[in-house]
Amino acid sequence: MMDLQVKLPGLNLKNPVMPASGCFGFGKEYSRFYDLSLLGAVMMKAATGTERLGNPTPRVAETSSGMLNAIGLQNPGVDKIIAEEVPFLAQYDTEIIANIAGSTIEEYKEVAKKFNDAPEVKAFELNISCPNVKEGGIQFGTDPDMAKEVTTIVKRASDKPVYVKLSPNVSNIVAMAKAVEEAGADGLTMINTLTGMQIHLPSRRPLIANKTGGLSGAAIKPIAIRMIYEVREQVNLPIIGMGGIETAEDVLEFLLAGANAVAVGTANFQNPLVMPEIINELPKTLEKYGFSSVHDAIGKAVFV
C-alpha cells in the first residue's frame, strides 16, 4: 500500500491533503458531505482577538479559472473559536491548525497565546497578509522586517510550531521566506491570494465591495509552483503548498516543486468532495509517475 504519511513540525499527517484556511470554515459544513477524519489536517478560518464582521458584500467574484474574495477576516474571535469550534473538530482524527490574524502585533500575540492553551491545536498558520492598522495599512506580508517581527513575537508567545503564510504579492518571495526563517518560523505555507480587481460594467464599480480582492484558483497555480520552487532552492523550512490545486496530479506537481504537504481552497466550492477524491486518487497518481510514497516525491522535480 502506498504510504501517504507526512511528518512535519507538530503535525503527523496521515496524508498530505488539508483544506486551505478560509475555504472550509471550521469544518462543520463539509462534515455533512464526508468524514473529516479522512483529511490530513484542517486549517481553520482566520482567528482574530475579537469578533470581526468583515467586509460589505459582494465579497466574491468569479474570474477566468479563478475567483476574487474579500471576506475580510469575518470570524467570531479566538475565544469563541476555542470554545465552540475547536471541540467540534477535535472529534475527528485529524490535525488542527489555527490560522492567526490581526491588525497589530499585539493582536497576533494575544491570539497565539490563547491558542497555545488549546491542546487540540497542533500548529499555527500565521496569516501575515493582513494590513497593519498601526503602520497605516502596510501589509506585514510584503515587508520582510515586519514579517520577521510578527513571527518573532508569535514564536515567543507560544510553544507550538509556527507556519508563516507567505503572500505572493511581493518582488522577492525568497527574501520574505528567509526573513521569517531567521525569526524562527517552523514552516511556510504558500501561497496566499494575489490582489486583483474586477469592474462590473453596468455599475462601473468594482464588483467586490471592498474594491480589491484576493485571486485564488487554478489561474494562480503556475505562480504558486514557481514561488515554491524558488523558496525550496534557498530556504530549509518545510512548505505546505497551495494555490489552484484541483486534482491529485496538481498535488504531485506541488510535491515535486518542493511542497511537503498541500492545502486545497477554492476547489472545495466547485466540488465539496474534492479532498476525499484527491486523497483516494493520490496513490494511483504517485504510482503512475513512479513514486513509492508521498515522501518519495517531495522536491523531486529535476531542475538541471
Partner 1 sequence: MRKVEMKLVYARQIAEDTIEMKLEDNYITQIAEPGQFIYIALPNFTLRRPISIADVDREQKQLTILFKIFGRGTASFAAYEPGMIVDCIGPNGNGFPFDTDKMEKVLLIGGGIGVPPLYYLGKKLKSKGIEVTSILGYQTAAQVFYEEEFNQLGETIVVTDDGSYGEKGYVTDIITDSFNFDLYYSCGPTGMLRALTSKLQDKKGYISLEERMGCGVGACAACVVSTKNEQGYLKICHDGPVFPAKEVIL
Ligand X SMILES: Cc1cc2nc3c(=O)[nH]c(=O)nc-3n(C[C@H](O)[C@H](O)[C@H](O)COP(=O)(O)O)c2cc1C
Cα–Cα distances (Å) from 106 to 101, 152, 157, 168, 187, in that order, read: 11, 12, 10, 24, 22
Q: Which does 33 bind (CB under 5 to 8 A by kind): partner 1, ligand X, its own copies, none?
A: partner 1
Which position among 62, 145, 182, 296 is part of the footprint of partner 1 (CB under 8 A)?
A: 62
269-280: b or e for each residue (b if 16 or more CB lie within 10 Å)? eeeeebbbebbe
Residue with Cβ nearer its own copies (66 or 161): 66
Q: Is the dihedral of CA 27, 33, 37, 42 positive or negative?
A: negative
User: Measured between alpha carbons, how far is 300 from 252 in angstroms, rounded to an integer?
Assistant: 10
Is residue 23 part of the annotated active site? The answer reads: no
What are the phi and psi torsion angles at 27 (to 5°)? 90, -20
Which of partner 1, its own copies, ligand X, none binds 303 (CB below 5-8 Å, type-dependent)? Answer: its own copies
Q: Which three cell numbers stand for residue 20?
A: 486551505
Distance CA 59, CA 162 (A): 29
The whole-angstrom distance between residue 227's C-alpha and the CA centroid of its chain comes to 14
- Cβ–Cβ under 8 Å, residues 67 and 266: yes
Cβ proximity of 139 and 132 under 8 Å: yes
The residue with cell 475555504 is: 23
32 lines the binding site for partner 1 (CB under 8 A): yes
Q: Which of 187, 244, 258, 283 binds ligand X (CB under 6 A)?
A: 244
Distance in Å, CB of 217 to its own copies, minimum: 8
The three-class DSSP label of residue 23 is coil
Q: Cβ of residue 167: shortest distance to ligand X, in angstroms?
A: 9
Q: Does 192 bind its own copies (CB under 8 A)?
A: no
Instruction: Give the C-alpha separation, 128 to 297, whole Å.
Output: 29
Distance CA 3, CA 295 (A): 8
Is residue 65 at the binding interface for its own copies, with CB under 8 A as the rule?
yes
295 binds its own copies (CB under 8 A): no
SS3 state of residue 41: strand
Q: Is 99 near ligand X (CB under 6 A)?
A: yes
Q: Which stretch binds ligand X (CB under 6 A): 154-162, 259-267, 271-279, 290-298?
A: 259-267
Among 4, 18, 71, 278, binds ligand X (CB under 6 A): 71
Quick one: 171 or 302, whose CB is closer to ligand X?
171
Least Å distance, CB 122 to ligand X, is 17
Contact range with its own copies by CB under 8 A, out of 51-59, 76-84, 114-122, 204-212: 204-212
Binding site for ligand X (CB under 6 A): 20-23, 45-46, 69, 71, 99, 127, 165, 192-193, 216-217, 220, 242-245, 264-267
Active site amino acids: 130
Binding site for its own copies (CB under 8 A): 63-66, 68, 142-143, 169-172, 194-199, 201-206, 211-212, 215, 217-223, 225-226, 229, 244, 249, 252-253, 256-257, 289, 300-303
